[in-house]
Amino acid sequence: MVTHTGRHFLQIPGPTSVPDRVLRAIDMPIIDHRGPEFAELGIQVLADIKTIFKTDNPVIIFPASGSGAWEAALVNTLSPGDKVLMFETGQFANLWVKMAKRFDLDVELVPGDWRTGVDPSVVEERLRNDSNYSIKAVCAVHNETSTGVTSRIKDVREAIDAVGHPALFMVDTVSSLGSIDYRHDEWKVDVTVSGSQKGLMLPPGLGFTAISDKAISEAENSKMHRAYWSWKEMLEANETGFFPYTPATGLLYGLKEAIAMLHEEGLDNVFARHARYGEATRRAVNAWGLENLAINSDEYSNVVTTVLMPKDYDADVFRRLVLDNFDMSLGTGLGKVAGKVFRIGHLGHFNDLMLMGALSGVEMGLRLSGLQDAKGGVEAAIEYLAEQAA
């Protein structure tokens, strides 16, 4: 048994650290979820969450993880046998594919190398070849948590528009919402899926679907079986601030506080802060002589950096060494890159000194692993952050 002192460093890309303000908000007495006090809370959070998605349309909140929100997106808008265009950009994109197949959807999968995002030119090509409009939805992951690659959603939307294709556009923002600029209405996304435990700075437990008028209309024609995940009942109850079943009251109090914190900082400032941390981390990785899994600079993630370990080094052995020696959790490699990469999360309730502590732990761990030339990463990050602060 390893004994640790001080605070644990949680440097996985979610769940992220929960601010004390949010913890205190969650620590409210349970109230009657059918009473007027709850109705006030419900009306406020249902309105306020729209500002984070940048939409004027409804955002439905489920007691669920992001996976539940994925399911809600599929079963409310599609029918068995419908064709969906999906992209292999990483582990979470693949899990969405797996779910779609379980619902007997016909998945047209664009294979990927896990180092690049959704290619808008491929989207345009696939849709242009679909002259009979058999593709009913295009599904993309905005920020692929397993790879540290951020797809260019605005460009994907423009590719869909260039063809004039009527497919629904669905986007997973589980690890990007509240940390990377995202615009549901402006980018004409039909269903945006997200979760509470990353940029929204909450514990796991809330899943979100922001839905367009087109998505609501398609839900009337969907032949999928659904009960818990039905938007119809949720929309009806939400009009008065209520939910059709017992809501996660404590998390909704926390959500109210988290949204307030994001707006106090200013969303543009939040995005800029994450961009600073992403660049500082990448400079550290370069100084260590290691490689970022993401290979296109315009797709680098500002919330997580996925680092390739040198050949003959086991990334999981390295992660365990860092945990045992420095009480810091780094993200594990998933799927195809298991054992080959580790992930540094730098998102949510996070500041410069927290980043420097995390990078110091990684650098010390690399040295303990025998990578004696892995030097200068912390200094490179400090220099960049100091320049940006000046």
190 and 308, same domain (yes or no)? no
Number of domains into which the chain is organized: 2
Say yes or no to pLDDT of 162 above 80: yes
Q: Is 241 exposed, middle or buried (0-12, 13-18, 19+ CB in 10 A)?
A: middle
- Asked, for residue 378, whether it belongs to a domain, the answer is yes
252 and 277, same domain (yes or no)? no
Condensed to tens digits (0 to 9), the pLDDT of residues 77-93 reads: 999 999 999 999 999 99
Query: What six digits make up the tokens of 84?
Result: 């969906």
Report the distance separating Cα 119 and Cα 117, nearest Å: 6
What is the DSSP pairing of strand 291-292 with strand 206-211? unpaired
Residue type, 203: P
Q: Look at residue 47 in the predicted model and tell me its pLDDT.
A: 98
pTM of the model: 0.97
- Asked, for residue 100, whether it belongs to a domain, the answer is yes
Helix or strand run (H / E) with residue 175: none
Domain boundary pick from 240, 263, 286:
263
Query: Dihedrals φ, ψ of 286, to 5°?
Result: -60, -40
Is residue 224 within 8 Å of residue 242, measured between CB atoms? no
242 and 270, same domain (yes or no)? no
Q: Look at residue 3 in the predicted model and tell me its pLDDT.
A: 86
Helices (H), the chain: 20-26, 36-53, 66-77, 91-102, 120-128, 153-163, 213-219, 231-238, 249-265, 267-288, 315-326, 352-368, 377-389
- Asked, for residue 1, whether it belongs to a domain, the answer is no
* Residue 147 three-state SS: coil
51 and 97, same domain (yes or no)? yes
Q: Look at residue 390 in the predicted model and tell me its pLDDT.
A: 57
**Across 260-270, average pLDDT:** 98
State the angle between helix axes of 352-368 and 267-288 in degrees (0 to 180), rounded to the nearest 10.
Answer: 20
38 and 107, same domain (yes or no)? yes
Comparing CA positions, the residue from 27, 16, 38, 24 lying closest to residue 200 is 16
Q: How far is CA 7 from the centre of its chain?
A: 25
Report, in angstroms and rounded to the nearest whole number, the Rg of the chain calculated over CA atoms.
21
- Asked, for residue 213, whether it belongs to a domain, the answer is yes
Say yes or no to pLDDT of 2 above 80: no
259 and 270, same domain (yes or no)? no
- Asked, for residue 3, whether it belongs to a domain, the answer is no
- Asked, for residue 115, whether it belongs to a domain, the answer is yes
202 and 252, same domain (yes or no)? yes
Comparing CA positions, the residue from 292, 276, 288 lying closest to residue 377 is 288
Q: How many residues does the chain have?
A: 390
Boundaries of domain holding 353: 9-16+266-389
Query: What six digits make up the tokens of 334?
Result: 């998933």
308 and 369, same domain (yes or no)? yes
Region of 117 please: left (phi>0), alpha (psi -120 to 50) or beta: beta
Domain boundary pick from 199, 228, 263:
263
Give the list of residues 6+ apart from residue 383 with CB closer than 8 angstroms, or none: none
Among all chains, which residue has been given the structure tokens 């997973």?
A: 172
287 and 332, same domain (yes or no)? yes
Q: How far is CA 28 from the centre of its chain?
A: 27
Q: In this predicted model, which residue has the larger pLDDT, 390 or 134?
A: 134
- Asked, for residue 74, whether it belongs to a domain, the answer is yes
Domain boundary pick from 216, 236, 263:
263
Question: For position 63, which CATH number holds?
Answer: 3.40.640.10
- Asked, for residue 2, whether it belongs to a domain, the answer is no
Condensed to tens digits (0 to 9), the pLDDT of residues 365-375 reads: 999 999 999 99
Condensed to tens digits (0 to 9), the pLDDT of residues 221-258 reads: 999 999 999 999 999 999 999 999 999 999 999 999 99
Comparing CA positions, the residue from 283, 262, 269 lying closest to residue 363 is 283
Q: Look at residue 221 in the predicted model and tell me its pLDDT.
A: 95
Q: Look at residue 33 in the predicted model and tell me its pLDDT.
A: 97
Average pLDDT, the chain: 97
314 and 250, same domain (yes or no)? no
191 and 336, same domain (yes or no)? no
**Torsion angle defined by CA atoms of residues 49, 216, 181 and 50, in that order, rounded to the nearest 10 degrees:** -20
Say yes or no to pLDDT of 311 above 90: yes
304 and 240, same domain (yes or no)? no
Question: For position 300, which CATH number holds?
Answer: 3.90.1150.10
Residue type, 69: A
